[in-house]
Amino acid sequence: MPPFGSLRPKLLVVGLAPGMHGANRTGRPFTGDHAGVLLYGTLHKFGFANQPGSADTRDGLRLIGCRVTNAVKCLPPQNKPRPDEVRRCNHYLAEEIALARPRAILALGAIAHRAVLMAFGLAPGALRFVHGAVHELPGVSSGALLFDSYHCSRYNTQTKRLTASAFEAVVRDIVLFLRGCR
């Protein structure tokens, strides 16, 4: 699954894998599934998207200074990426980060967090995933920061593990960082 958005973004959002009923069906990350409702709505609220939602690739959605990708590029069994799939796809993520050179990376969930660490050549436990955490990537000269959030999946939002306000708080921190206020 190819990424979506700006070629040289300030913000790179890293999800898990194409969703069965969303991205795998539509061909665009977080398009046509429940997770995309919160993600694209929040990106719009903070100026990273021209509209608040996306149900179809022909809906006119454009990302502004933002790119969305996944740690795993194809639909995994049971809709959950296995560690070996993350490893096999990681060179794609590493290349994408190197080309895009984002100032902020938003990892949606612990799997995406570990995939970003791997892409930077860091051990999986080098930086602990915690919702709302901000990490300097050691040994990385890019100055990019890694921001952690629970994944905006239906499960996480319906169980209130992730609320809209908690997700917006993470994106607000990213905006403050990008504006030099952090």
pLDDT in tens, 57-90: 889 999 999 999 999 888 777 777 888 889 999 9
What is the rounded distance in angstroms from the CA atom of residue 140 to the CA atom of residue 38? Answer: 30
**124 C-beta neighbours (distance < 10 Å), count:** 14
| pLDDT attached to residue 56 | 85
**78 C-beta neighbours (distance < 10 Å), count:** 7
* Domain ranges across the chain: 4-178
Mean pLDDT of 9-17: 94
Helix (H) or strand (E) holding 136: strand 134-136
Mind listing the pLDDT tens digit for each residue in 104-130? Answer: 999 999 999 999 999 999 998 899 999
How far from chain centre, in Å, is Cα 10? 13
Domain 4-178 belongs to what topology?
Uracil-DNA Glycosylase, subunit E (3.40.470)
Q: What is the DSSP code string of 51-100? A: SS--SSTTS---BSSEEEEESSSSPPGGGS--HHHHHHHHHHHHHHHHHH
pLDDT bin (cut points 50, 70, 90) of residue 179 is very high
Mind listing the pLDDT tens digit for each residue in 22-38? Answer: 666 676 888 878 888 99
**Terminal CA-to-CA distance of the chain, rounded, Å?**
33
pLDDT bin (cut points 50, 70, 90) of residue 20 is low
Write down the mean pLDDT value for the chain. 90
What is the rounded distance in angstroms from the CA atom of residue 51 to the CA atom of residue 65? Answer: 14
| pLDDT attached to residue 24 | 60
Helices (H) and strands (E) in the chain, counts: 6, 6
| pLDDT attached to residue 161 | 96
pTM higher than 0.85 for the full model?
yes
Mean pLDDT of 156-174: 97
In this predicted structure, the answer to whether residue 21 has a pLDDT above a threshold of 80 is no
